[in-house]
Each structure stands twice: as C-alpha cells, then as structure tokens.
Amino acid sequence: MIFYVMSRLKSLFNEKGFYELDFIGKISMGELYRCPECDTPIAIKPTLPPFNIKLKGKNFGDLCAGVCYEFLVSKRFAALWKESGLMGLEILDYPVNIKKTGKFKNIDTPEYIMVRPDVTLTHLNEKESGLIIKDSAGCNKCKLSTRKKVERLRIDESTWDGQDIFYLSGLYGVLVVTEKFVEFVEKHQFTNFVLVHQDDYNE
C-alpha cells in the first residue's frame, strides 16, 4: 500500500484562504489516548461536544482544519465518505455551532460536520523510513519517541489495521492516509486537502 501524509498545518495555513477552524468558549476534552502496554500518552486529548467554533478565512473548502486532532468536513464529503467503504474516520454526529463575526457576519455558512481520525498503534518501519530517534519514550507496542529526522514515510504494515486515515503512534501527531483516500479526494475534487506522497515526506 502507498501511504500519504495529510498535512493539517498546510491546510490550516493554506495560500488560497480557505476557512480555518477555531474553537471558542469553554472546550471539553476527553481522556488522553494511552498505550495499552506502557501507558505512555500516544496522542493529545480528543475534543468533545459541544462544538462551538468560529471560522476564519475567505473561501469555504471541503476541509476546515485547526490545531486539534479533529477537523471539519463539508456535508458532501461526509455523505460520500459514508458510502465509500473507506475506514478510519469517525463522523461526530453533534451540531457544529458556527459563530459568525465581523465582516463575515452576513455570509451564508455551509453546513460542516466534525470528524475524528482513528488514533492507532501503527508505527513506522524505522529502518526504511530513515528515522533517527532523539529519545525513546514508549515500548515495542507503541514505539513512541521524539525524533531528530525522518527521511521518508514507510509504514510497518504488520502494525496497520487497514484504516484509510489514522494517526500513527510511532510518528506522533502525523496524520496518514492511504492512496485509496487520495483517490477519493481527487475523484470528488474536495478542496483544501494537502496530501504528501510517502517518498516526498520528511522532517
């Protein structure tokens, strides 16, 4: 399987001015995701409803990203996702309350749905990805570490459960998708997805 990195940051700070997601008011967080073997946190806490947000930008894309693990997708994306047979995205069926401020006050806002990718214990093939570890924090199950360098993305497929979108435990904070996910985005021309081929990814 060919994998891609979905860059939430590049979508958040996009050049085309697509709307970005910002939570407002009191935010409820869930429990930390932890490795079942060594108890090390493998991801930040999930954001829980109510989803009170504001949007900043100029154009409505099919994706509105923020700094949280969750993100907003258009109603069209959510509907087609449900029919797609792809796996790894939880559709959070709670209202998204969008506060409109300033000059955007009178703009009609399309309906958005909050989604959360799976947090998994999938990790890298460390040798093939050229991972240089700074400090190891986890165990063999989660492979959690801080990194000096990653030359490319190579998933250890024996640790992958077949999701088409997921956070890795062995590459903290990085969101990975399959080529099937990329085909889905291209086929329906969803906007504001920045997808980096596994050979072109490095940090």
List of residues contacting Zn ion (CB under 5 A): 35, 37-38, 138-139, 141-142
Q: How far is the CB of 113 from Zn ion (least distance, A)?
A: 32
Q: Which residue's CB is nearer to Zn ion, number 4 or number 33?
A: 33
CA separation for the pair 71, 18 (Å, rounded): 13
User: Directed axis angle between helix 75-84 and helix 179-187, to 10°?
Assistant: 130
Q: Which residue's CB is nearer to Zn ion, number 123 or number 154?
A: 123
CA separation for the pair 58, 16 (Å, rounded): 8
Q: Which residue's CB is nearer to Zn ion, number 41 or number 57?
A: 41
Q: How far is the CB of 98 from Zn ion (least distance, A)?
A: 38
User: What is the DSSP-derived secondary structure letter of residue 102?
Assistant: G
Looking at residue 125, its amino acid is N
Tell me which residue has its CB nearest to Zn ion.
35
Q: How far is the CB of 141 from Zn ion (least distance, A)?
A: 5
The answer to whether 46 touches 70, Cβ cutoff 8 Å, is: yes
Classify residue 80 as left (phi > 0), alpha (psi -120 to 50) or beta: alpha
Q: Which residue's CB is nearer to Zn ion, number 172 or number 193?
A: 172
Q: How far is the CB of 168 from Zn ion (least distance, A)?
A: 13
